[in-house]
Structure 1
Amino acid sequence: MGGDTGRTRTPARTTDPRRALGRYGEDLAARRLIETGMQILQRNWRCRDGEIDIVATDGDALVVCEVKTRRASAYEHPMAAVRAAKTARLRRLAERWLEHHGGPPPGGVRIDVIGVLLPARGAPVVEHVRGVA
């Protein structure tokens, strides 16, 4: 008999509504970046210092993208959630990514923020701000 170890099973990532919402926003953000001619290198890259939602290239520049997704009823616009402390953390994460992937590209590194707002009705609104830090 397989027996029960007594441990509670962790549900799959997609069963958590918050994670599912974030994943949906990241999918929309990745699609927007591709539509603008950028190439996605990695999604949800993790290291001991945190996670980068999307790593992409824009020409010869490396782009680290933070994606924030909110429902329209939320009290704060998604872009407002990215404050100075978050951009500083994204800079550190970009440095870690470069350490693992061969150093900076000729076009340098840029940090972008993509805000996804999901209204109660109608299509999602995707805003892309380039070079926030």
Structure 2
Amino acid sequence: MAKKDDRGREGEERAARYLEERGYRVWDRNWRCPQGEIDIVADDGRDLVMVEVKTRRTDRFGHPFSAVDRRKRERLWRLAHAWMRAHPGAARGRSVRIDLIGITGERPATAVLEHLEDLR
């Protein structure tokens, strides 16, 4: 297994714990379909939240959020709709949003975590 993959998994674990500590309910992790993968699907008590997690050792090649360009945002929305089609009762009558969590630092467990809500 590549160290990059391990780092990404550790970052996603940290992000899920962070969300749960703030009262989110995590519904799904690493949900896959033919169009791709959603890192975390959660519920903040009001909205259904699709979370993209980006984990980096440093910001030398840019901030983790900079990896989510227009094309990636469009893909995340397509994936959100696919998840909702696969789980029709979960999203009924609820708003859906996309959040980003960026984790920057040598060790994901202690790195800087930033949460950007409602990516548009």
TM-score (norm 1): 0.83
Matched, 1:132 2:115: no
Matched, 1:113 2:85: no
| Structure 1 stretches lacking a partner, 5+ long | 1-14
Write the letter of the residue equivalent to 2:81.
Answer: E
Alignment RMSD: 1.7
Give 1:73 deviation, angstroms. 5.8
Q: Partners of 2:46 and 2:93 in 1: how far apart?
A: 6
Q: Report which of the two has the higher share of helix.
A: 2
* Higher RCO (C-alpha 8 Å, min separation 6): 2
Percent of aligned positions that are identical: 46
TM-score (norm 2): 0.91
Equivalent of 2:79 in 93, 96, 100: 93
Contact 1:62/1:105 (<8 A) preserved: no
Count residues in correspondence: 118
Indicate the structure (1 or 2) with the bigger Cα radius of gyration: 1
Moved more, 110-119 or 122-131: 122-131
Runs of 4+ in 1 over 4 A off after TM superposition: none
Contact 2:40/2:52 (<8 A) preserved: yes
Q: How does 1:24-43 map to 2 (within 5 A)?
A: 24-43=10-29
Q: What is the DSSP-based 3-state SS (H/G/I as helix, E as strand, rest coil) of the residue aligned with 1:94?
A: helix
Aligned partner of 1:58 in structure 2 is 44
